[in-house]
Amino acid sequence: MDHMVATMPGYISHASFRDDTSGRGVTISYFESMKDLVAWKQVPEHLEAQALGRATFYSEYEIEVAEIVRHYEWTLE
């Protein structure tokens, strides 16, 4: 899915993190609009991957959809 999501219209970026001890993980995907996010949710291969995850890998998961209100960065130069 990492490669496929990057080809979607409106895709900005994504990052995944997993705790080796607990096995819990998070993937954050950024899209330009809610319309673009909904389109990603409806891709047949993505739906198949979700079904496979529920049937094979996960006993539970959460999905949160949020809009970024403010973002800033700082880098020491």
pLDDT for residue 18:
93
For 2-39, the pLDDT digits (tens) are 899 999 999 999 999 999 999 889 999 999 999 999 99
Q: What does the angle CA 56 – CA 61 – CA 63 come to, to the nearest 5 degrees? A: 130
For 40-77, the pLDDT digits (tens) are 999 999 999 999 999 998 888 899 999 999 999 999 98
pLDDT for residue 10:
97
pLDDT for residue 52:
95
How far apart are alpha carbons 70 and 37 in whole angstroms? Answer: 19
Domain extents for the chain?
Answer: 2-57
Task: Note the pTM of the prediction, 2 decimals.
Answer: 0.82
